[in-house]
């Protein structure tokens, strides 16, 4: 079991500092890997990252919702979306995402689609090298 970062992530990086095993990595390049990703082989399931996320983007894998109900106004970031998000991370540095969409209140989104990229980033993606370095 592992924890999963979903498309609700807006790269603010708050989770990174609390992870005791340093297994949360910012996706790069951002237009191909728009979130931060948790290495499932290294995560020790401590849950420390969950309350740190201001966007409530992190879930235990078994609890990732298939029918997340939007409050309204929150963003998701996924490849192929064409909306623009501009914010800042917890260091005050700019965060720009070009593959976002703002959700309507009451809209439901299947966030289980976001489980596999957490695995892929560390197998097929650049995360393997990032952890190794
Ligand atoms: S659950 Fe714990 S070990 Fe896993 S990513 Fe979050 S902080 Fe790191
Ligand atoms: S705290 Fe949340 S929004 Fe920030 S990088 Fe981690 S998962 Fe993404």
Question: pTM to 2 decimals?
Answer: 0.94
Ligand that lies nearest to the alpha carbon of residue 46, given by its number in the listed order: 1
Domain that holds residue 36: 3-132
Cβ of 89 less than 6 Å from ligand 2: no
Nearest CA to ligand 2 atom 3: 9
What's the number of domains the chain is made of? 1
**CATH number for the domain harbouring residue 22:** 3.30.70.20
The tens digit of pLDDT for each residue in 2-45 reads: 999 999 999 999 999 999 999 999 999 988 999 999 999 999 99
Q: Mention every residue, 6+ apart, whose C-beta is less than 8 A from residue 94.
A: 86, 87, 88
- Three-class secondary structure of residue 101 per DSSP: strand
Residue to mutate (ligand 2; options 7, 12, 95, 100; most atoms within 8 A of CB):
12
């Amino acid at each position: 079991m592992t924890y999963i970062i979903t498309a609700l992530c807006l790269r603010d990086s708050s989770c990174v500092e609390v992870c005791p095993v340093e297994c949360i990595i910012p996706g790069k390049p951002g237009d191909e890997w728009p979130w931060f990703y948790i290495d499932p082989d290294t995560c020790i399931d401590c849950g420390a990252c969950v309350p740190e996320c201001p966007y409530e983007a992190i879930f235990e894998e078994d609890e990732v919702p298939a029918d997340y109900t939007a409050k309204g106004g929150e963003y998701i970031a996924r490849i192929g979306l064409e909306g623009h998000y501009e914010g800042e991370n917890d260091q005050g540095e700019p965060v720009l995402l070009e593959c976002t969409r703002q959700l309507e209140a009451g809209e439901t989104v299947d966030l289980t689609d976001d489980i596999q990229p957490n695995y892929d980033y560390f197998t097929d993606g650049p995360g393997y090298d990032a952890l190794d370095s």
